[in-house]
Homo-oligomer: A and B are copies of this chain.
């Protein structure tokens, strides 16, 4: 079910079906260019495929259509159907055949069409992809990248707005990243594909069409977090689409003379605790935010680790601003589920002891 109502807004009056989007010419990316997040991933995929003939893409509708979000646009035409594979409709098989390809020395990049469709492939991810290197005592590597558009806020139908990342950060053997901007999208897809470990690569679907400057540099290692906005009063951790909201919150808070240090985690497994701890040691206060359900989400893990390691630095209990413990709700209710600027500021207030 393609559901991109907000990403590609439909005209507000009755009209003909949208006409075909012209195929973009391949992005050269020799210097810094302005690209949308989706195009930045596309450029990263293309570069990885140019660099290494063993990089192959697998997924539903990724070929002729270029994916329902057009992230793989034009790659079929450039690399052919052995390297850009429109698969039958079966996620377990997409992941499972990627395992076989990896056994043969390939570096498969699997696209899961929407977050909610990863679960039929869960067994192959958890019991095979994540473990084969361990199982074979290092003999077999699984350099598989699994791309997952994630998160809500696009007015979509059920299963199209989920944040399943915590299922994977609890799975030993996987690396997990989530990108928030075009530059990271580009740099991290290339690093993910280059990694000899399997990587879950989460794409913030409601930010696909936000443009940004992208240089061909790979930048900081995939495992590192990034301080987006330096601050002194509260540390606010976010990833994916919520980094933008957190940044807005920092601006809003500065109006009230509260200085928020926003950190974009980028890597969810492992978390870059060096950066997080340095910040918390400075601010003494922590807010973590994510769209996923609160209980068992990544926020709890981070709060636990920070409490373990920075106990004596904490001036207040860390605060979580998250989705509720509910299945993802219908579109008309999602604004009540998703952390927004107001809820983040409310969380900051609580971390500052201004409210309970």
Contact = CB atoms under 8 A, between A and B. Distances in A.
Given A135-B158, A326-B134, A305 B301 contact: no
A116 B110 CA distance: 24
Contact of A304 (B119, B166, B320, B325): B320
Interface string A130-164: 11001100000000000000000000001100000
Interface string A304-338: 11011101001011111000111100000000000
Contacts of A301: 295-296, 300-301, 304
A123 B126 contact: no
A297 interface: yes
Contacts of A314: 311
A284 interface: no
Contact of A300 (B292, B305, B317): B305
Nearest to A288: B304
Nearest to A159: B127
A314 to B, nearest CB: 8
Interface in A76-92: 92
A141 B295 CA distance: 23
17 contacts: A120-B123, A122-B123, A166-B170, A166-B296, A170-B295, A171-B296, A172-B295, A172-B326, A172-B327, A300-B301, A300-B304, A303-B303, A303-B304, A304-B307, A304-B320, A307-B317, A308-B320
